[in-house]
Structure 1
Amino acid sequence: MEDERIFSDICGGRLALQRRYYSSFCREFCVSCPRLSLRSLTSVTCTVWLVAYGLFTLCENSTILSAAIFITVLGLLGYLHFVKIDQETLLIIDSLGIQMTSSYASGKENTTFIEMDKVKDIVINEAIYMQKVIYYLCILLKDPREPQKISQVVPVFQSAKPRLDCLIEVYKSCQEVLAHQKATTTRS
């Protein structure tokens, strides 16, 4: 089963949440951010080139224009490859673990896998961000020496920053999978 709903991020931007239910113990959540805006890209490029042209007219040095073009192209490529994340995916399988994938605008993907026996819980936490309180989904990892304690907190959907209503949908579904996993573990 697959469905898609539209939510907002913490700044009011549009996010799409795709939910895929493969079974009662395997679910995937994809949060998609809007693509790179042509308007913002054009405005930044024009600003850099106009400043470079102004400096060129003052100095009459053509290397300024060449440097501006070179810096703009390199900056855009760096932004697309290292900064702009188009989609973040959370895949939870009760017998294996949790996989988080970030897909960049350039096509690069960054994947992190956490084994289920290291997961203590998945919670919604709150933080102060830019003078306001925001909520974020995070995975609590068990301390290997003391399983009752938490060793690490791993935030999910760091780039998209969805609002609470979107996080609650993902949280409830993850809790169902975790409950199924705990029930299976206690029976064994």
Structure 2
Amino acid sequence: MRIIKMDHQHILKSSIHESLKVSCVEYSVEKLKKIVNTDLFALFTTLTLTVYSIIINKTLISISFILYSSVLLLQLVRICCMIHSESLLITAPIGLQLTTTYVTGRQMVLSLPWNCIKDILIVDLIHRQQVLFYLAVQTSQNGLIILFQKSKPRLHILEIIYRDTHKLIENNRKKL
């Protein structure tokens, strides 16, 4: 995969499979923000306070232990839910596949068959006095399905993906 665009939060990579030329394209949006030192520091501090609470009180039923262990659990859940990358694979006569990869290595895959795809859109919405842009696939059964929902790339990255994807959908719609 080659890097197409990069900003301070995301890297956009693309791959066009040479044997299939126009029918198979893959885009990957990687987040530059990995687990930062403050996350690790907060995790280590909470773990230390939890162990200290057990040693001092010699019991697991103290208020400080419950407080520290709940904060520790919240920190672990937050780190486990961090996104590493999201990739979109479009194979023209077959379908579309969105793969979300988390920092822990866990992956979630969403697949759509080609005959369900009506169109691809850039959707904007206002949330907390901020305009957000999403790439969405309009399907015949499920309505709109938001792509790159977790990584939230900026508009200039979405426009690159939209142009190529829309052209691929239109070219293959004419063939069918």
Provide the TM-score with structure 1 as the length reference.
Answer: 0.77
> Could you tell me how far 1:50 is from its partner in structure 2?
8.1
Q: Structure 2: which amino acid aligns with 1:18?
A: K
CA contact (8 A) 1:80 1:104 kept: no
CA contact (8 A) 1:7 1:163 kept: no
Take 1:52 and 1:66, find their aligned partners in 2: how far apart are those partners?
6
Take 2:125 and 2:90, find their aligned partners in 1: how far apart are those partners?
24
Match of 1:14 in 2: 9
- SS of alignment partner, residue 154 of structure 1: strand
2:168 aligned to which of 164, 177, 181? 177
Flag the 1:113–1:106 CA change in 2: closer, same or farther, 3 A: same
Moved more, 33-42 or 100-109: 33-42
> Could you tell me how far 1:106 is from its partner in structure 2?
1.1
CA contact (8 A) 2:50 2:69 kept: no
Take 1:24 and 1:78, find their aligned partners in 2: how far apart are those partners?
41
Flag the 1:5–1:36 CA change in 2: closer, same or farther, 3 A: farther
Match of 2:92 in 1: 94
Identity %: 21
- Note the alpha carbon deviations across 1:13-60, whole angstroms, 9 max, x for none: 5111111111211100111112211233314543x4687699x5xxx6
- SS of alignment partner, residue 39 of structure 2: helix
Matched, 1:84 2:75: no
Equivalenced residue count is 167
> Could you tell me how far 1:72 is from its partner in structure 2?
5.4
Query: Any runs of at least 4 consecutive aligned residues in structure 1 with deviations exceeding 3 A, and if so which?
Result: 5-8, 48-54, 62-77
- Note the alpha carbon deviations across 1:151-173, whole angstroms, 9 max, x for none: 41100111111111000000001
> Could you tell me how far 1:181 is from its partner in structure 2?
1.0
Provide the TM-score with structure 2 as the length reference.
Answer: 0.81
Q: CA RMSD in A?
A: 2.6
Take 1:74 and 1:162, find their aligned partners in 2: how far apart are those partners?
29
CA contact (8 A) 2:97 2:112 kept: yes
Q: Structure 2: which amino acid aligns with 1:169?
A: I
Q: Structure 2: which amino acid aligns with 1:61?
A: N
Match of 1:40 in 2: 39
> Could you tell me how far 1:178 is from its partner in structure 2?
0.4
Structure 2, unmatched stretches of 5+, are none
Q: Structure 2: which amino acid aligns with 1:40?
A: D
- SS of alignment partner, residue 35 of structure 2: coil
Take 2:86 and 2:166, find their aligned partners in 1: how far apart are those partners?
19
Q: Structure 1: which amino acid aligns with 2:162?
A: Y
Matched, 1:141 2:139: yes
Structure 1, unmatched stretches of 5+, are 144-150
- SS of alignment partner, residue 146 of structure 2: strand
